[in-house]
Structure 1
Amino acid sequence: MRTLPMVLLIPVVALGLLAGCTTLQNATAGNEQWRLAHRAPSLEFGASLVPLGEREAWAFGTRRVGWWHFGPTAYHWDGERWQASPLPSGLGAGGGPAGASSPANVWLVTSGDDDGRRALRWDGRTWTTMRTLPSQSVQEVEVLGDTDVWFFGDDTWHYTGSAWVRADVPVLVTRASARSATDIWAIGRDRRDETQPRVAHYDGTGWRIVPLGDALPASDTSSSYDLGGITADASGVWITADVSDMTAQTTTPLLLHRSGNVWRTERVTAVPGPWRETFDPVPDGRGGHWFLGSTDVNGDDAALAHRSPAGVWTLRPVGAPGTAEFTSLAGVPGGSWLLATGSFGDVRGIFRHQLPGR
């Protein structure tokens, strides 16, 4: 899930209202830091959040029983409550990436279809299937406007309003982030050599690979690295990476930062284990960023990590060991809350976290 930075701003008023709409049972779920905002079992795994404004937010998930998937789900926050939003029937196994540029331009891609992925659009009133994308996977959606939507994965498609164009991107994209229509960044694997992680950039005319130089250690038979999440904002381009030592059987989290034309690498000693999945850095509105890291070397126990603009790290466990699992994270830049989807014990849904001192 990605949106332009300006549409990620959710006034604190809305999230305060969200807190008030929960039942007593919901309000006591989670722990002192993370409270349940809406109970929804389909948001436990593989969910995505698309916050738009004080009266607009979306959460997408997958109905499932065990390992079996039974279709995507959508939940809409209207400023007073979360409620289910019916999707068209026959959409395949589950929900996928989502994004939006306005309340009347929300996009969702389904997953698990043998004959392609459905691209759905919400126009403010109803959901419409816009196209079946002939791609084996769609990993990311960047919605820059009504006539400017990117779908990234094994193939990259660009919707221009009048046409669907297959873009020539030299990377099998896993994550992407846009600062504007002519400044889009993506990470993934080299299309010619899938063992090699790559960074690519779009400048409005075409895509090119941006060399990392010596920002990452060289891969060899005893070590390898993976690029996890990416965020491009006013402070630069931020990429989370994990370096795995096969001999020592350890994984070290790294943070890459590009300012101007220079890459810098930072070993994140505050996080003892790997980054959680492919979560993107979340801007805090003050020049810092939030991350989902871990408190153990195996990466089993999630923790909320924060990096200040000065590079000072803090780490706070999400819950007691083995109690919490988050599948998406969304922030309120400069605000008082973070939102996440996942579970606390057997309680599944959307959780909110009030930031200290705000």
Structure 2
Amino acid sequence: MSRRWLASTLAVLGVLLAPAAGADPLNWQAVPVPVAKGDLTAVAALSDTQAYAVGYRLRSDTAADMLALRWDGRRWTQHSTLPAEAFPQALAVRSATDMWAAGAGTAQWNGTTWVRRALATDPGGTMTPEALALAEHNAVWVAGKAVPGAIKNGTPAVQRWDGTAWQRQTLPALGKGELNGIVSLGPGKALAVGAQFATASQPQRPLVLRLSNGQWRAEPAPQLTGHSWLSAVTSVSPTEAWAVGATSVNGVEQPLALRWNGSAWAATQVPPVPDGRLRAVGRTAAGELLAAGGKGAVAVLLRWDPAANAWQRLADPGIVARAFSTVPGSNAVWAVGISRQGDLVPQTRHTVR
């Protein structure tokens, strides 16, 4: 199994936590899945009656089947089996006949089977995908890092699927770092976020790239105390975007959320949640902006309160959460991962705001 999967497996030990003090209540519902032992790592929804999740089922301590699940509005069933050693970490769904998974490479569901799609050669090294985003005219973005050998020497990387093959994108000279989130802003426009790795003279800091007029450019990010990074990004309007991640000061991680107002990025007020790194951000049909994540046995869900100009904590789903998804046309939220109790017991949680 890959190093990333081994690391995640070793990090899941935890105990059942009490609801967050002062958190707004949510009626999270446990929804069974047809996997007794394994993990779920990504989820994406098209509607209240159509959602997909990917992960793996353990067959032994060293063997696993890569799989996709489907939600039909009543229950989760196994949808399909991904290519061996796919280790999916990200999922993007356009329709029942067009889905993408990324992890150890990328694969596309064509309505019948998963087909491996080889990434373009990158002079910086082997590309490790971290995030996917759908774009116009059936295009797809993938972001991550090009790794020449050691992960610490990786450099940010972006590729675009043009309908036939992946095409490497030319990025500005950024030094060592990675991209963890990407979103399309329309034809020929996109945002990608991640981190520039620490150097002898500066801590790790957020990285924001914008594609416009055919060129990727780095945008100024706020100067923050300690180490910081971004994990996900979403666009709300042509003049509003959000990126989330975490800061680490003296070894303690806290949530981080940045807002773009059409001209500049600024940090916003977040509640102090130890190990509360944020991994996802999105809006419900009612217009609520939610951010979610966690580390180890800690899960966190935040809601943006425009009146208070700050994020407020909501009740978390009560699992070791790997991924979250809002549902188009709905106020529902999905969380997937594993149970805080037991040995790699896959879990899904569903709630409606």
1:98 match: 91
Aligned Cα root-mean-square deviation (Å): 3.2
Change (3 A) 1:55 1:266: closer
Change (3 A) 1:208 1:287: same
Q: Deviations over 1:35-57 (max 9, x none)?
A: 22232448964611121234432
2:8 corresponds to: none
* 1:216 corresponds to 2:216: no
CA 1:103 to 1:243, structure 2 compared with 1: closer, same or farther past 3 Å? Answer: same
Aligned to 1:229: 232
Q: 2: CA distance between counterparts of 1:293 and 1:110? A: 19
1:123 aligns with 2:119: no
Q: In 2 relative to 1, CA 161–201 (structure 1 residues): closer, same or farther, beyond 3 Å? A: same
Q: How does 1:17-166 map onto structure 2 within 5 Å? A: 33-41=27-35, 45=39, 47-64=41-58, 68=62, 70-87=64-81, 89=83, 91-92=84-85, 94-111=87-104, 117=105, 119-131=106-118, 135-145=126-136, 147-154=138-145, 155-166=157-168
State the alpha-carbon separation in 2 of the partners of residues 56 and 299 from structure 1: 28
State the AA in 2 paired with 1:47: T
Match of 1:203 in 2: 212
Structure 1 match to 2:269: 267
Shift in Å, 1:338: 0.9
- The equivalences for 1:323-338 within 5 A come to 324-332=319-327, 335-338=330-333
The separation in 2 between residues aligned to 1:163 and 1:65, in whole angstroms, is 33
1:282 paired with 2:282, answer: yes
C-alpha separation between the residues in 2 aligned to 1:216 and 1:93?
A: 37
Can you list the C-alpha shifts for 1:144-184, whole angstroms capped at 9, x where unaligned? 24541122111322111244311112463111122323221
Is 1:308–2:305 an aligned residue pair?
A: yes
Question: Could you say which residue in structure 1 is the equivalent of 2:7?
Answer: none
Give unmatched runs, 5+ long, in structure 1. 1-30, 112-116
Residues 105, 145 of structure 1: 8 Å contact kept? no
Q: Which residue of 2 aligns with 1:28?
A: none
Aligned residues of 1:40 and 1:350 also touching (Cα < 8 A)? no
For 2:281, the aligned partner's letter is P
Where does residue 6 of structure 2 map in the other structure? none
- Count residues with an aligned counterpart: 302
Q: TM-score, normalised by structure 1?
A: 0.72
Instruction: Give the aligned partner of residue 26 of structure 1.
Output: none
Query: Which gives a bigger RCO, structure 1 or 2 (Cα 8 Å, sep 6+)?
Result: 2
Give, as a single letter, the amino acid of the residue that structure 2 aligns with 1:141: L
Q: Deviation per CA, 1:13-46: give whole Å up to 9, x if none.
A: xxxxxxxxxxxxxxxxxx9822222324489646
Amino-acid identity (%)? 20
Distance, in Å, in 2 between the alignment partners of 1:88 and 1:264 is 40
Q: Report the Cα distance in structure 2 between the residues aligned to 1:100 and 1:331, rounded to whole angstroms.
A: 13
Cα contact 2:108–2:114 (8 A) shared by 1: yes
User: Alpha carbons of 1:300 and 1:98: their partners in 2 closer, same or farther (altered >3 Å)?
Assistant: closer
Identify if the C-alpha distance between structure 1 residues 132 and 205 changes in structure 2 by more than 3 Å, giving closer, same or farther: closer
Q: Give the deviation of 1:122 after TM superposition.
A: 1.7
8 Å CA contact retained: 1:43, 1:341: no
Closer/same/farther in 2, CA of residues 255 and 122 from structure 1, 3 Å limit: same
Question: Structure 1's 110 and 42: CA in aligned 2 closer, same or farther, altered over 3 A?
Answer: farther
1:353 equivalent in alignment to 2:351: yes
- Offset at 1:331? 1.0
Partner of 2:335: 340
Against the structure 1 CA distance between its residues 289 and 153, is the aligned structure 2 distance closer, same or farther, given a 3 Å change threshold? same
Residue 88 of structure 2 aligns to a residue whose secondary structure is: strand
SS in 2 for 1:335: coil
Partner deviation per Cα, 1:40-93 (whole Å, 9 max, x = no partner): 44896461112123443211012236874524211123455432123355x215
CA contact (8 A) 1:50 1:98 kept: yes
Normalised by the length of structure 2, the TM-score is: 0.73
- Where does residue 4 of structure 1 map in the other structure? none
